Structure 1
């Protein structure tokens, strides 16, 4: 049995509802009639008033009502404007199904521009007299969209469709059953102890305050937004403890403080060497501010803006990443230029030393009781487990022959 159901919103091809009913007796005919009635009801519902709501409108309503962090919202809007709206914006929400979404994801994984597979020239200038040489036009080469990016797009689409269900525009969310690209297992690549030593040496050669920042990230595993948002009021040098309560993030060039990633406060114990460095750094800040007639107070940031030299303005996360990238790239041989690698170093060194998973997860600020830590650092957890087994085995009484 086949019933025409309109045009597929993704492929642009005719769409049909199909079902095979075996047999030729009265029961088979009754089943066929019931199925045909269901098909017709489904098509009619798709053409009803509620189903005429376009997906683009649903996206706008979802963005208007969703409780999203500013940085998260900015990232979502980028995906929506570049990918989702151009493809699905004019499609009625009721016309979006699991098959259409899976087709879209497959197309994006093959080519982010969803080309037809035939070679063509990408025009970089379309107005006036066109000169491919002057406009630097190039032959199109398919570039697949990363699986993680497609998963992010899927998450946005699913969120919008969940809202459409709540608003009774559709009965169910097809994104919940649509297959999305598999998540790639985390593959942290922390610097070796020798490389870590080179990084610290290079950082202190640049300046004492920059060296202290790199050292602190390396020994505590703090996120860059956490170290940027750290204030002296949260640093207890006598108790040798710091509190991570707030972070400092940037969006469209503007910075602001916000909760930590997991919305939880945590306390980190400091070693004596780190405490000594922070004491020296605090005195450095006090001296620098004294030169401009400003007194250091506890509400000031630990790492002041290098651009303004003002402890009331933090060292921005983006500036930290850029400076670290330049420093790591200059080393010979170069080291991973992402400062997040220092967080991996802190975690893997602790696990290798036999520190329990819960403690490591607590220092990193991972939620889920260590589940995230285990997923990311499974190889090092396994190595630590093997080490524990060997230690226990060596302590067991020897059996007599």
Structure 2
């Protein structure tokens, strides 16, 4: 049945009792019966389908149009919307609900083209869900996620997706909205850089606890949104996965490079230039804003870590690694750094290692847990992947280092007495409590700087363990199994670039033996 509707005029005049006359005002009509062109405003009324229980629904009434043409145009738009349902009564009720909600919230009718598209693609018609409402529900419904992945997704939601996109209705999300989010992330990166370079306390307060977001992290943020929208499409909440259409720089890991003597020499030159530049900037800032006190003083760690390097992934030679370990031997986390350097554990795996998973008599450790830090939060979970759960062999020197470490920990347990926390962890603080992974990284950087070594990331000790296996003549399969990578392709992609560099370094080392030898007398 075609929807019934009509246009008419009404006004705000009142009778002697104060009651509005509405459509009954005699001034609305001319003597010849035509509508007055100067009095009243145009309206329309449209009958809507009944509710699901058969009860009558209030008609759609809209008022305030300057002429009949405008009123009839919107009336026809409302009729067009109802006609989309044809003889489908259930769909007709949904469209009526949509019309009522839209008029109440936006004062406008929905677009017939958009409604047809949603009907054609099986989407819900009356969507009011925002990304801020949907994303937490989506994450909660992911029952099979590893805890580490869940925490990573939650961090992406909390830090980036919900603050930037949470207010947008899920069916109205556009590529431009996601692009704008990544532009905000780039602005945050610039702010963090300026805060480090200038030591401005105001800027530092704004970015406290935040880290620069690299290309790989941006890829993970987009992957989180893409996964959520994929499910939203299956649920009929949206039609297009706009996250798949966003262009980002490649998040592919850079090739690993070895710290050769030539690269170290260039880095030292670049470091001097970097320190001079940072010092000049901070002195200018201090001069312009004396209230900041000693903000111009250069932080040595900032300069050391921030200086340019040939690649983000740099690897020490065996000699440089030995030099670091000799310096770290005096620190309580020496055994942790030793284990990473020799057997390639991830930082979180080393922090989460338990004595029950260590067999020093047999010479093995079993990786079952890891401690992850995301922002200020610390949590324990399973390894990164199924391949990460494995038993690896220990060399004799690593067994000796762990035995010495256990003896020192036992002495700390006796000294702590009742204040000792029996966590069962291999690496703890003085009271047996778990250690914070970020503090392990910070201490590693300080030790490397104090040793006078070129900078690498703590994770690059793991890369170094792979490079030493390759230098010793082992194949990629051994590297994959030792580092517990999910595929040999990942091992080859990451470490193939090291082979010619290691060959060059071995040639240099062999030549040095001859050139530095004392001549025979």
Using the TM superposition, give the Cα deviation of residue 378 of structure 1 relative to its aligned residue in structure 2, in angstroms: 2.6
Partner SS, residue 371 of structure 2: strand
Partner of 1:112: helix, strand, or coil? Answer: helix
Map Cα deviations across residues 87-111 of structure 1 (whole Å, 9 max, x no partner): 43333323335x53674477458x5
The counterpart of 1:230, out of the listed 345, 353, 357, is 353
Find the counterpart in structure 2 of residue 374 from structure 1.
492
5+ residue gaps in structure 2?
A: 1-110, 195-199, 205-211, 256-312, 505-521
- In the alignment, is residue 59 of structure 1 matched against residue 135 of structure 2? yes
* Mapped contact 2:344–2:483 kept (Cα < 8 A): yes
CA distance in structure 1 between the partners assigned to 2:442 and 2:159 by the alignment: 26
Rate the CA distance shift 1:321–1:114 in 2: closer, same or farther, 3 A: closer
| Alpha-carbon spacing, 1:77–1:299, altered in 2? closer, same or farther (3 Å) | closer
1:270-312 residue CA offsets vs partner (Å, 9 max, x unmatched): 1112222222222222333234458x99982222224x2x2xx
Task: Please give the alpha-carbon distance, in whole angstroms, between the structure 2 residues aligned to 1:254 and 1:105.
Answer: 24
Query: Following the alignment from structure 1 to structure 2, what is the Cα–Cα distance between the partners of residues 351 and 224?
Result: 22
* 1:110-149 correspondence runs (5 A): 111-112=186-187, 146-149=214-217
| Larger RCO (CA under 8 A, 6+ residues apart) | 1
Is 1:269 aligned to residue 345 of structure 2? no
The corresponding residue for 1:127 is none
Shift of 1:223: 1.0
Hey, what's the Cα distance between the residues in 1 that align with 2:470 and 2:251? Answer: 24
Which of 322, 325, 345 is the aligned partner of 1:197? 322
Q: Does structure 1 residue 91 correspond to structure 2 residue 211?
A: no
- Contact 1:112/1:145 (<8 A) preserved: no
Determine if contact 1:71/1:250 at 8 Å carries over to the other structure: no
TM-score w.r.t. length of structure 1: 0.66
User: How many angstroms does 1:269 deviate by?
Assistant: 1.2
Find out whether 1:214 has 2:337 as its counterpart.
Answer: yes
Q: Which of the numbers 311, 320, 324 marks the counterpart of 2:440?
A: 320
Gapped regions of structure 1 (runs ≥ 5): 1-38, 116-121, 123-132, 138-143, 387-401
Match of 1:344 among 463, 468, 473: 463
- Distance in 2 (alpha carbons) for counterparts of 1:360 and 1:225: 19
RMSD: 3.9
Contact 1:70–1:251 under 8 Å retained in 2: no
The aligned residue for residue 282 of structure 1 is 406
SS for the counterpart of 1:278 is: helix
Whether the 8 Å contact between 1:191 and 1:345 is mirrored in structure 2 is yes
Task: Give runs of ≥4 in structure 1 deviating > 6 Å.
Answer: 133-137, 296-299, 382-386
Select between 273-282 and 40-49 the one with higher mean Cα deviation.
Answer: 40-49
Deviations 1:246-275, CA, capped at 9 Å, x for gaps: 222345656443211114421111111222
Indicate how the Cα distance of structure 1 residues 219 and 178 shifts in structure 2: closer, same or farther if over 3 A, else same: same
